[in-house]
């Protein structure tokens, strides 16, 4: 059983990693301004000419500097040029060594809450993140880009009704470090037991990992922030089943938050209540059964009403 669990976690981690090919074909919607950068950083091997010896030298690109161009042109920053975020001096080859020390941009350096976008509330996210264990724990060095790769990030919160995809994508971000595969130990020198062992108190840990995000239990929910970023210490994690498995589930204010707002805007508040989109947590909703139950209720109420009217007329 332990072997199967380790294999499952390994597949989840590997499945969410970006493996660049030796030469990645650029998609049709590529940005010509990036071609020079991707001629080296889009490959596992790069070449350059030695000006002194006139030799063509071939080197293997450091894996953390390889950019999957296909993933890049499908991510949220696909319209940007590399120089929009990185120094224009990178256009000079070879690069100056001190360019590696340039400060990395944060999300709020480009994004603002005045943009014509859904209410993401970048200011609130920054405030929440600054209170999180990722920001307050000494020596972590965690930034926006530690979780959200700027070269491949695709926001999933607003991507429709496929919640299983949202859960898998968001959890894969957490698993990059917290899978029990050693990355957390390497980064922070803090050995941890396996993820499953930490969640043995749950009736079925694997099923929870597939259906809810880590942040549902490990983050403090804030109404005006689309996605929770205030990750709390493990001692403050939710351990009361009723907080999720109830009519007023906390998932209504986190995982189902956008879905509920979408249903209300499309069908109205009354219709969203009747359709019961916030089904009982842990069950699979059936539109047919919902319709049948409503018809049975309507027949019962109608029967009682008709019976009452007939008795009043006879009396």
Residue that the structure tokens 């009403």 belong to = 305
pLDDT at 305: 93
In this predicted structure, what is the pLDDT of residue 115? 55
Residue 268 predicted with pLDDT over 80 = no
The SS3 of residue 179 is coil
Is the pLDDT at 15 greater than 50? The verdict is no
Alpha helices in 35-97 (DSSP H): 35-41, 69-72
Q: Is the pLDDT of residue 145 over 60?
A: yes
pLDDT of residue 230: 93
What mean pLDDT is reported for the chain?
77
Helix (H) or strand (E) holding 219: strand 219-220
Which pLDDT tens digit goes with each residue over 98-122? 888 888 787 878 877 665 555 678 8
Q: What tokens does 184 get?
A: 């957390």
User: Using CA atoms, how far apart are residues 147 and 133, in angstroms rounded to an integer?
Assistant: 14
CB 230 within 8 A of CB 134: no
Supply the pLDDT for residue 32. Answer: 86
Whether pLDDT at 173 is above 50: yes
Q: Phi, psi (5° rounding) for residue 60?
A: -85, 130
Q: Where are the domains of the chain?
A: 20-103, 104-282
Question: Which has more pLDDT, 168 or 30?
Answer: 168
Which letter, b or e, does each residue of 167-199 get, where b requires 16 or more Cβ atoms within 10 Å of its Cβ? Answer: bbbbbebbbbbbbbbeebeeeeeeebeebbeee
Return the HEC string of 97-151: HHHHHCCCCCHHHCCCCCCCCCCCCHHHHHHHHHHCHHHHCCCCCCCHHHHCCCC
Cα separation values, 211 from 8, 92, 173, Å: 15, 48, 15
Lowest mean pLDDT among 16-20, 27-31, 195-199: 16-20
Is the distance from CB of 41 to CB of 20 less than 8 angstroms? no
């Amino acid at each position: 059983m332990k072997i199967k669990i380790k294999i499952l976690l390994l597949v989840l981690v590997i499945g969410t990693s970006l493996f660049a090919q030796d030469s990645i074909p650029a998609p049709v919607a590529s940005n010509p301004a990036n071609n020079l950068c991707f001629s080296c950083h889009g490959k596992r091997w790069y070449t350059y000419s030695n000006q002194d010896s006139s030799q063509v030298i071939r080197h293997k690109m450091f894996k953390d500097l390889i950019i999957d161009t296909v993933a890049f042109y499908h991510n949220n920053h696909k319209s940007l040029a590399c120089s929009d975020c990185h120094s224009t001096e990178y256009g000079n080859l070879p690069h100056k060594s001190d360019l590696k020390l340039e400060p990395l941009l944060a999300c709020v350096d480009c994004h603002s809450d005045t943009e014509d976008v859904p209410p993401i509330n970048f200011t609130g996210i920054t405030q929440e993140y600054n209170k999180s264990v990722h920001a307050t724990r000494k020596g972590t060095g965690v930034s926006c880009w530690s979780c959200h790769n700027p070269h491949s990030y695709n926001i999933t919160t607003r991507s429709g009704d496929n919640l299983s995809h949202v859960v898998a994508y968001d959890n894969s971000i957490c698993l990059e470090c917290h899978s029990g595969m050693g990355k957390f130990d390497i980064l922070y020198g803090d050995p941890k037991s396996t993820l499953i062992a930490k969640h043995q108190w749950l009736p079925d840990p694997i099923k929870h990992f597939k259906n809810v995000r880590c942040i549902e239990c490990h983050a403090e929910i804030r109404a005006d922030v689309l996605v929770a970023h205030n990750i709390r210490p493990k001692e403050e994690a939710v351990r009361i089943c009723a907080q999720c498995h109830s009519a007023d589930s906390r998932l209504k204010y986190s995982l189902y938050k956008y879905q509920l707002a979408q249903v209300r805007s499309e069908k109205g508040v009354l219709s969203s209540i009747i359709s019961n989109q916030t089904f009982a947590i842990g069950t699979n909703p059936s539109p047919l059964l919902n319709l049948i139950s409503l018809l049975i209720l309507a027949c019962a109420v109608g029967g009682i009403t008709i019976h009452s009217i007939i008795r009043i007329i006879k009396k």
